[in-house]
Chain A
Amino acid sequence: MTVLTAFAYGIYTFGPPVALFFVTVARHPHEIITMILGAFFWLLALLFASLVWIIVIPLKDTPAFTLPISVILQEVFRWLYFKLLKKADHLLEIVSEDKSDLRKHKIAYVGGLGFGLIAGIVMFANVLSVASGPGTVRSNQYFVTVSAFSTQVMIILHICWGVIFFAGLESKNWLYIFAVPISHMFISCLSLLINLANTPAYFLSFGYFLCVVFVALAFFAAGARPKTLVDFFKR
């Protein structure tokens, strides 16, 4: 039973990104490498954040202090990642054999997927492995459910953030550039309420709302217009 439940949660959370990976990324070697690199950058950001957390001993029990620092670090590393890819851009162009305008957005999306996947694994994989175990007692019966849903929100947002942030930096569009860290900070701080206010309602409702908004924003940031969608379905 627990194993079945764990599978359900796992498929719910990691299903979308893994499906995206196999459908879009897996066939392109350079994109797989880019994705692993994205994951590496996110891990570096997390490493520095946890160093801060380790050093500030009195605030070890609550992540409220480390949280903003971690978000800032993630955005800094996203920016560094962008810089690195920018430098390697012409190599990527050669390797991908893709001269279209969409190429840069594809790379941004792949980077976002790398960020999202590793973030999802770090935040949820251990919960999942405990949930699959012989049995656990939780004060809150919805603990794993909430974690699964929230992690999925974060993964989807990471993918969108990747696309939007890169597009913003590329075109010097300040709206896009600032939308990403601000929304990231907002949603992460909101997640503190899950534990403090003991209700996931705010986080999840805002999270899925933000998902919709940012998917739309990423859609436009990548240069698509409603007409593109119509054309796509007509084809």
Chain B
Amino acid sequence: MSTNSETASLLSGEARETEYGSDNDEGMEEQEEDGITVSPPLQGTREEEEETEQKDDEQSCGMKYVFKKILNVLPSFGDDGDDPTSEANEEALRFGAQQMILLIFPVFICMALVVAIQLSVEKNVTSSGTLIYTPFDEDTASNDGFVLLFALANVAIVITLVVVMTIILVCLYKYRCYKIIYGWLVVASALLLFVFSSFFFVEVLQVHYLFIDWPSFLVLIWNFGGMGVLVIHWKGPLRLQQAYLIFCSALTANIFVKYLPNWTAWILLAAISLYDLIAVLCPKGPLRVLVETARERNETIFPSLIYSTTMVWLVGMADRPTNKKKDKKNTDDTSGSSDGSHEEEEEEEGGGEREGRRDNDDGDDDTDGIEMRSIRAAADTNRERRRERQQQQQQEEEEEEEEQEERQGFKLGLGDFIFYSILVGKAAHDSTGDWVVISSCFVAILIGLCMTIIILGIVRRALPALPISIFCGLIFYFSSQYVIAPFAQVLATTQTFI
């Protein structure tokens, strides 16, 4: 029991480090920004797991059918007639919907935080200077052509930096230099939590005309940052860790909104999502290499190895383990009843296996084949483990489930959080707090996220989370800023209610 729990906690601790990774890096040097969402394997039920092979085959057929169904229904609005969806598939869909919310909720919080900072603090602070990564100051450009040129040059520098950093990271990971990676992450997160957060808090105090003596301030910052580093890289209450992660993302996004030149920021958003697309989907894209290396090593279970740049165990998935008790207390938790989540926990067990089967049937390419085998192996061991476990103590079981679950669920890079928040924060900043613009950007990004997750459910492989959302957001930002907002202005002043 004790060893088990130790491993589990160690695992989760490492998971956190991983998570953190993305955002520090971005904070400091903005190395990696690509978020990846990774699909959870479909869930099977515990009973199914123990049923015969034949049954499993039937299941996989049923599942294939459902996937065809989803393909038909969602994008092309195919007809929905008879529908022999099995229990397990229904569970999978339910689980997917729940996961979607568990992603949407923190993204919403993070974006709201950045908007709040922009509207309350940054509005009242005149900031000057730029990041060293964007040496060309648009304000000094003599005409629009030069503004564009400067912006493009800045973006090129930033993207190059991102690419180089990501490649370094992938190489480090590939050659198993985990110590270096962790060291890098710890330093970066400490820097963010101590230095940048103290700048931010000083600003907040100034804006509100509050006074505090330096000793107390330093003690508070020391405690705040120290706790953050501990919680993120080692262990601590889950909610606290989530709060720190979101705060870090928001802080980083805020820095970018504040210091990036105007057009550089917009072009950077578009460029980064294109880069994300390439990095995740191209056969040799750095992030894809990273994800696949992790899978080949069958390290998804050990989040520390997933260190994968920006792939983060998002709040959502970390949410479930051990939290049954918490959930009951937490009435405002968006995830339904505690019974529901418990069921899902059971469901998740069979997941890997079934995905393996499906891949097998579809005859995917080599890498997926590898993945399939490893997943299958994992599933087999799971099964054995499960049997043993049933004879063991309840508590131990929970520990292992915790471990299991860390492998499941959607993951969203903190990089995605940051860039979504940059878009919304920039929208709030540029429109000087026009709620029409802000709310339409919110809706567009959340819809983009939903669409990404739905596509994820269909293709079942790592996907870049930025492109759809960011382009949706960009379209809605510019259309609302220049088309909808003036119209809404007229409607509001003439008190016309459409």
Contacts and interface: CB of A to CB of B under 8 A. Distances in A.
Interface stretch (A44-52, A163-171, A218-226): A44-52
A51 B435 contact: no
Given A40-B447, A87-B80, A95-B94, A123 B497 contact: yes
B180 interface: no
Given A87-B77, A94-B85, A71 B479 contact: no
Contact of A50 (B70, B93, B484): B484
Contacts of A26: 332, 334
Contacts, number: 156
B433 A129 contact: yes
Q: Which one of B433, B487, B494 has the highest number of Cβ atoms from chain A below 10 Å of its Cβ? A: B487
A71 B450 contact: no
Given A32-B104, A40-B447, A62 B93 contact: no
Contacts of A187: 497
Contact of B498 (A28, A71, A89, A153): A71
B319 to A, nearest CB: 13
Interface stretch (A103-111, A143-151, A173-181, A208-216): A143-151
Interface string B84-113: 010001100110011011001000000000
Contact of A30 (B97, B439, B486, B495): B97
Nearest to A117: B439
Contacts of A84: 77
A53 interface: yes
A51 B479 CA distance: 9
A101 interface: no
Given A29-B100, A60-B490, A91 B70 contact: yes
A43 B495 contact: no
B83 interface: yes
Q: How large is the interface on B (under 10, 10 to 19, 20 to 34, 35 or more residues)?
A: 35 or more
Given A87-B73, A143-B495, A33 B476 contact: no
Determine chain A's interface SS by DSSP, over half rule: helix
Given A29-B335, A87-B77, A187-B497, A46 B83 contact: no
A90 B435 contact: no
Q: How large is the interface on A (under 10, 10 to 19, 20 to 34, 35 or more residues)?
A: 35 or more
A13 to B, nearest CB: 12
B496 A40 contact: no
A234 B303 CA distance: 54
Interface in A157-215: 187-188, 191-192, 194-195, 200, 203
B436 interface: yes
5 contacts: A22-B332, A61-B490, A66-B487, A87-B78, A119-B498
Interface of B: 70, 73-74, 77-78, 80, 83, 85, 89-90, 93-94, 97-98, 100-101, 104, 332, 334-336, 433-436, 439-440, 443-444, 446-447, 450, 476, 479-480, 483-484, 486-492, 494-498
The 10 closest A-B pairs by CB, nearest first: A125-B435, A50-B487, A29-B101, A87-B77, A191-B497, A29-B97, A194-B495, A94-B90, A195-B494, A70-B498
